[in-house]
Structure 1
Amino acid sequence: MCRLLLASVCFSGLLGASTAQAQRRRAPEFEPNVAYDGRFTWVRVKYMLPDLSSGSGFRGGRDLPWSHDYPRGERNFTKILSTLSTARVRLGSSNILTLDDPELGKFPVAYMAEPGFWRPNDKEVLGLRNYLAKGGFIIFDDFAGQHWLNFESQMRRVLPNARAIPMELTHPVFDAFYKVKTLAYTHPYYGLKSEFYGYFEDNDPKKRLLAIANYNNDLSEMWEFSDVGMFPVDLSNEAYKLGVNYIIYALTR
């Protein structure tokens, strides 16, 4: 079953892994946002980097941490989500929004890459706080090591009374679609032990999960390259299982 899952991702043809990596290093070309139409639409959160000398928003003139794995990561993932579930999923398009954009409230799930570089201004802090209070759910992904320190610091600004709670395998998010059997993952490059943290309403794991953080992990990296053989099939499948579970959980609660 797992290997068949990845077969459905190979809809765009196989590319050499070196080609895919070269594309990732270049500044991406961002597509226009699409209007809300009731379908599940992938929303990626963008943020500025305050330590940049130019107004381009690029670190080192090339790299935007929040854009890592765009657009292949979400394109591959939404194809899998649409194929395996009954969710109405928008394919081939996704949105990029700031946390203080009023449009964000139209979409139930948001995704942020590299929150170790995230430095929200006061409007963005309030925007995320309101988004979560109104029922939104956010996935933090693609960060490791000491990047946790900044992430936790910024989340204290967003939710001053909340704390990051280690996720247990018994939580319903890990059984929302697939029965996830283990959380013993490692970072695909660094070999660090992955850890999963949740932010809950009233700090109560029995109440609504507001946000989940994939620390020492990079699910979207594995989604991005799942059709080029860069990572073992089983590893890519596990990344898809977690992502599908997150979305189904958020859409049904």
Structure 2
Amino acid sequence: MKNLFSILLFFFSLILFSQDVAILKYKGGGDWYSNPTALPNLVKFCNTNIDTNINENTQTVEVGSIDIFQYPFLHMTGHGNVFFSDDDAENLRNYLVSGGFLHIDDNYGMKPYITKELKKVFPNSELVELPKNHDIFKTAFEFPNGLPKIHEHDGKPPQAFGIFHDNRLVLLFTYESDLGDGWEDQEVHNDPEDVREKALKMGANIIKYAFEN
């Protein structure tokens, strides 16, 4: 236990000086690897527009690996099943309560699976919808109406849910918005430029919020 604490302390000393981000790889058969150009494009946008200095060679880390502690921000996406083992859940919980931040972007069909698995991570916490005046909607760019709608799936409004620990937002789940599709290369989904810009600006807000809170 003492050795584990020393390792965690070392990794979080790195996080204090790091702005790197990573994609979270999980078990269960869901396509964690979807939207491969999304996070690199968001990183480039942030470095250009909000004065970040993030490594544009984004990495992939497994949810159960201690390597997640090297990154203050993790991004997770997919369409289907998600499974966290007990060790995965404990590792992710330790990461989040120690200062890390996880953004989960539902690429479509993720919600029932991720909601169930998050109960392993935070058994006594629920996903709560963020109000439109939450700081995450105005850290760098103003979104007075809350989370923007990027892709249409079931005709539902976009929603942003969070999990809080000691009054700090440690996890953001974006639903019925599909921000990651808007971050992808333009030719992937042929989104209009104004739609892609909205997605990237909201993504920049999330990155900035995660780094500063």
TM range (shorter): 0.7 to 0.9
Q: Aligned Cα RMSD in Å?
A: 2.1
What is the CA–CA distance in structure 1 between the aligned matches of 2:85 and 2:152, rounded to whole Å? Answer: 31
What is the number of equivalent residue pairs in this alignment?
198
TM (norm. structure 1) is 0.72
Letter of the structure 2 residue corresponding to residue 42 of structure 1 = V
Q: Which stretches of structure 1, 4 residues or more, deviate above 4 A after TM superposition?
A: 36-39
| CA radius of gyration, larger in | 1
Whether 1:241 aligns to 2:201 is yes
1:178 equivalent among 141, 156, 165: 141
Match of 2:33 in 1: 67
Whether 1:154 aligns to 2:136 is no
Give the % identical residues.
24
What is the CA–CA distance in structure 2 between the aligned matches of 1:228 and 1:164, rounded to whole Å? Answer: 31
Distance 1:154 1:178, change over 3 A: same
Are 2:18 and 2:72, in contact at CA under 8 Å, matched by a contact in 1? no
Match of 2:46 in 1: 81
Letter of the structure 1 residue corresponding to residue 180 of structure 2 = S
What is the CA–CA distance in structure 2 between the aligned matches of 1:182 and 1:39, rounded to whole Å? Answer: 31
Letter of the structure 2 residue corresponding to residue 221 of structure 1 = D
Whether 1:123 aligns to 2:102 is no
**Hey, which of these two has a bigger chunk of strand by percent?**
2
TM (norm. structure 2) is 0.85
What is the CA–CA distance in structure 1 between the aligned matches of 2:41 and 2:96, rounded to whole Å? Answer: 26
Are 1:187 and 1:193, in contact at CA under 8 Å, matched by a contact in 2? no
Distance 1:129 1:106, change over 3 A: same
Query: Any unmatched runs of 5+ in structure 1?
Result: 1-35, 50-58
Match of 2:9 in 1: none
Match of 1:230 in 2: 190
Letter of the structure 1 residue corresponding to residue 65 of structure 2 = D
Tell me the SS of whatever aligns to 1:186.
coil
Deviation, 1:98, is 1.0
